[in-house]
């Protein structure tokens, strides 16, 4: 039971990171109906920017807790701002000029942008792994196994990831449902031409959607760095594929679906790794995706797509 509880905590933590990245996929798809395959590498850029800022500011675990929190908040804000610029650039260069073209064209340019970002980071930062000393050590001991002595721990970094993800999910849900920007995004999702005729700046709305997705990817990048303590230029591809899988599994176009899909992928990976073979954890995740899409093509929380005539 203790081992199951520990894997559950680990799975929710990993799934929260996947969910944050998946929201970027689902927001872009919901408005323009296209997949931003450079989004995973935007997450990778956010991780590297966070690492560079942490090293530049000399942030270490020896700082007083209050100063450490303020420093990490500052790193997060700067990383979100800089990563958002990359997200806006991808939209401006790879998507806007091809918005009226056939659907395969922006997909190809997005893949090209992904490769360009990977190689830029590889050349500028090197191909080796970039480690980071733990900044948030410690945690709580929940239970201690009476028989085998297995200890269930909930680290402070896991608490941070779960709390931040929950708050961001609530905040973005309120933003989409209660604000003028959210109404503009929902209008563009339904009919961009009609939204434009009603006075909505469609180009600005789409650009802001890319910026918001990139900002969330930057948050996920910092949380990933703090949790795992090591990054490389290739993490964007792997995490991007998993997050895209999560978005499709939950129902692409649905924010709660993206988070639900992220949690499911994280749980499947951790439980499969813990109870079966770690080499086949990706096979298990993609197999579950295939099964869901066979019986529920719109995903778990997605809506059937109605074709306009």
For residue 99, count CB atoms less than 10 angstroms from its CB and return exposed for 0-12, middle for 13-18, buried for 19 or more: middle
pLDDT at 309 exceeding the cut of 60: no
Separation CA 52–CA 32 (nearest Å):
33
Q: Decide: pTM greater than 0.75.
A: yes
Q: Give the rounded distance of the alpha carbon of 3 from its chain centre.
A: 27
> Cα separations (Å) of 134 from 49, 67, 71, 129, 224?
17, 16, 15, 15, 12
147-166 per-position pLDDT tens digit: 666 788 899 999 999 999 99
Note whether 47 and 225 are within 8 A (CB): yes
What are the residues facing 130 on neighbouring strands? 231
192-218 per-position pLDDT tens digit: 889 999 899 999 999 999 999 999 999
Phi, psi of 290 (to 5 degrees): -60, -40
275-307 per-position pLDDT tens digit: 888 888 888 888 887 888 788 888 888 776 655
108-131 per-position pLDDT tens digit: 888 899 999 999 999 999 889 999
Residue ranges and CATH numbers for the domains of the chain are: 2-295 (1.10.3470)
Dihedral angle, C-alpha 84, 13, 260, 219, nearest 10 °: -10
pLDDT at 282: 81
SS3 labels along 17-66: HHHHHHHHHHHHHHHHCCCCCCHHHHHHHHHHHHHHHHHHHCCCCCCCHH
What are the residues facing 151 on neighbouring strands? 144
> Cα separations (Å) of 35 from 99, 107, 247?
12, 7, 10
In sequence order, the 6+-apart residues with CB closer than 8 A to the CB of 76 are 50, 218, 219, 222
pLDDT at 71: 94
Q: To the nearest whole number, what is the mean pLDDT of the chain?
A: 88
Q: What share of the chain is helix, strand, coil (3-state, %, to 5)?
A: 75, 5, 20
Nearest to 52 by CA among 104, 118, 121: 121
Separation CA 100–CA 106 (nearest Å):
10
pLDDT band at 87; cut points 50, 70, 90: very high
In sequence order, the 6+-apart residues with CB closer than 8 A to the CB of 252 are 25, 26, 29, 30, 258, 299, 302
């Amino acid at each position: 039971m203790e081992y199951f509880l520990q894997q559950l905590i680990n799975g929710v933590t990993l799934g929260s990171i996947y969910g944050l990245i998946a929201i970027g996929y689902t927001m872009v798809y919901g408005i323009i109906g296209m997949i931003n395959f450079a989004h995973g590498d935007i997450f990778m850029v956010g991780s590297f920017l966070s690492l560079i800022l942490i090293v530049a500011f000399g942030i270490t675990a020896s700082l007083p807790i209050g100063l450490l929190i303020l420093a990490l908040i500052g790193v997060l804000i700067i990383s979100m701002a800089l990563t958002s610029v990359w997200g806006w650039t991808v939209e401006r260069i790879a998507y806007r000029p091809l918005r009226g073209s056939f659907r395969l064209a922006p997909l190809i340019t997005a893949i090209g942008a992904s490769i360009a970002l990977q190689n830029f980071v590889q050349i500028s930062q090197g191909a080796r792994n970039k480690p980071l000393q733990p900044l948030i050590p410690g945690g709580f001991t929940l239970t201690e196994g009476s028989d085998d002595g297995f200890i269930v721990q909930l680290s402070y970094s896991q608490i941070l990831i779960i709390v931040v993800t929950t708050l961001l999910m609530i905040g973005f849900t309120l933003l989409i449902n209660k604000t003028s920007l959210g109404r503009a995004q929902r209008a563009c999702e339904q009919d961009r031409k009609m939204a434009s005729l009603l006075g909505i700046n469609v180009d600005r709305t789409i650009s802001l959607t890319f910026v918001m997705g990139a900002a969330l990817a930057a948050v996920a990048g910092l949380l990933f760095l703090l949790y795992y303590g090591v990054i490389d230029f290739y993490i964007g591809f792997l995490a991007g594929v998993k997050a895209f899988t999560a978005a499709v599994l939950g129902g692409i176009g649905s924010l709660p679906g993206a988070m639900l899909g992220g949690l499911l992928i994280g749980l499947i990976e951790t439980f499969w790794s813990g109870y079966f073979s770690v080499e086949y954890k990706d096979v298990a995740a993609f197999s579950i995706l295939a099964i869901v899409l066979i019986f529920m093509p719109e995903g778990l929380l997605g809506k059937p797509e109605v074709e306009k005539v």
